[in-house]
Amino acid sequence: MKIYIWTLIITNFLILSIVDKTSIQQSETNMLFNTWFLDTYKMDSKDYPPNKREKDDYILFKEDMTYTSKSEGKEEKGTFILNVNGAYVLMIDQNGEKIKAYIISISKRALVLKYDINEISDVEVHYNNPI
């Protein structure tokens, strides 16, 4: 009888662990579906503001797995793949070019990405969502 009770307790604990982790991943995914405005660049613990051409830059991630972005005044559209386990977003533009961005952190108001691009691989790109 003791073995049966311990088996039940362990099984319930494992189920709760799996369900809880899934809901956390789901809520992070839902947070991504938003409009994120470029805020700052961070390199070597120093913040740098965007330049004048980047003033209105943003990324809009939509629930249908498409995105719209504006970078230095140029708008772009495409699709994206969200890899929750690898914590990255793979964006594919209309020309088929791919950009991978690692999600460093995400909350309702802030998104921090590190792009897999050699020239800026050491730069954290901070976005905000003014809700």
pTM beyond cutoff 0.85? no
Return the CA Rg of the chain.
Answer: 19
What's the Cα-to-Cα distance from 94 to each of 11, 77, 97, rounded to whole Å?
47, 6, 7
pLDDT tens digits, one per residue of 4-15? 444 444 444 444
**Nearest alpha-carbon partner for 48 in 125, 130, 104:** 125
Question: Collapsing DSSP states into helix, strand and coil, what is residue 69?
Answer: strand
Number of residues that make up the chain: 131
Phi, psi for 53 (deg, rounded to 5): -70, -20
Phi, psi for 70 (deg, rounded to 5): -130, 125
User: CB atoms < 10 A from the CB of 106, how many?
Assistant: 20
pLDDT tens digits, one per residue of 21-70? 443 444 667 899 999 999 999 999 899 999 999 989 999 999 999 999 99
Mean pLDDT (the chain, rounded)? 83
The answer as to CATH 3.40.50.2300 being correct for domain 33-128 is no
Per-domain boundaries in the chain = 33-128
